[in-house]
Chains A and B, each alone.
Chain A
């Protein structure tokens, strides 16, 4: 193995690495907000909202991410809305991941015993107050590990940007490969960069899960 070519392409790797982090953080923020909204829809007292929330979550959990990204990358331009690879990839990631985050949040909220809500309501709190001060604080603890796991998936999934020329790590790795012809070495370096991000996340998820299991 010969890694001497790396110096010439180091800038490409770091540029891609930065964009991967950037896209992941953007998509995380977006999917978190969207996910909370969807989870609220799914447990709301109104049937229409529940159906909407459920339809969204079930639909996006059961189709490939690539298809969602294609809607932004190929579908919207076919109707005159042009998006670049980075934007459509990040939007796709956001829409897709929000379904999983919504599901994690809903499961967390519903795992809080219903007696808690009933007790809060009968001591005079409104529905929103009961949610805000009684149910959500208990749910957050349960929800953090699966969300951390979703973030890990999100970072790995961000490699989809490479398919739509989104200038992420995967994209630049392919580029470097086609210039340098050092295939094994190039992909090993890309793998190293991904592991720098994902191993700490996996470790954090594990620790959070164990802590939750202990307190239960």
Chain B
């Protein structure tokens, strides 16, 4: 194993640059997928005719497909109908659609965990449905969603590695290149990549755990049901996510 060769200043800079792009793409996708997911979740929660069932079908379809397939689809199939993206945006769009569907489920079950009595009380004191959502359900529900959301963001950061299949120059891609220089550099490079991913993700998961234990205390307040996203809750330290 050639640690000195693999970690030459030039290689290190090259891999860190790749990791920089990983973080950028994860950041952009986190923001967009949160917006998209909240929209999907609110639509499914509000039971609007036609729109809500449609959102459900879309969510279930996307959630149950491999992300890899979506990345290929966005990058190679959509251009055939005239929708073209650069490699960066193809990855962002695929990640946003996929993680957005996951987040939509988290948001929906978070909103549904808010006590029905609170909603009825708000409505009978004269708030409209939109006001109830805005001032009562969303503030309570969102707070409860924070731990599973952070877990989903960790998954997203890991999932950016799949963009290697469309040659986005993120960390896995630059690792591939450095590994290709010399076979004795393979293990050192994989080790460094693992360390980089681990550092960021583990910090996030510690954060998620702290928020969760704080929420755990709060959740015992009357009327708090438990959200039921598959494997997301009920397990104490629950970030059994939907990773690729």
Contact = CB atoms under 8 A, between A and B. Distances in A.
Interface of A: 58-59, 61-67, 70-71, 74-75, 77-79, 100, 103-104, 107-108, 110-111, 142, 145-146, 149-150, 152-153, 156-160, 162-163, 170, 173-174, 177, 183-184, 187, 190-191, 194-195, 198-199, 202, 205-206, 209-210, 213
Interface stretch (B7-15, B46-54, B195-203): B195-203
Given A184-B77, A191-B69, A160 B244 contact: yes
A198 B63 CA distance: 9
Contacts of B76: 177, 183, 187
Given A104-B235, A156-B64, A170-B69, A75 B201 contact: no
B65 interface: yes
Contacts, number: 164
Given A150-B240, A160-B244, A170 B68 contact: yes
Given A79-B187, A191-B65, A199 B72 contact: no
Given A66-B172, A107-B236, A111-B236, 15 more contacts: A61-B205, A63-B158, A64-B244, A70-B190, A142-B234, A145-B231, A150-B231, A156-B65, A159-B68, A163-B68, A177-B72, A184-B81, A191-B69, A195-B64, A210-B228
A63 B231 contact: no
A100 B237 CA distance: 11
B244 A206 contact: no
B165 interface: yes
Dominant secondary structure of chain B at its interface with chain A: helix
Given A59-B198, A79-B187, A163-B164, A107 B238 contact: yes
Nearest to B183: A78
Interface of B: 60-61, 63-69, 72-73, 76-77, 80-81, 154, 158-162, 164-165, 172, 175, 179, 183-184, 186-187, 190, 193-194, 197-198, 201-202, 205, 226, 228, 230-231, 234-244
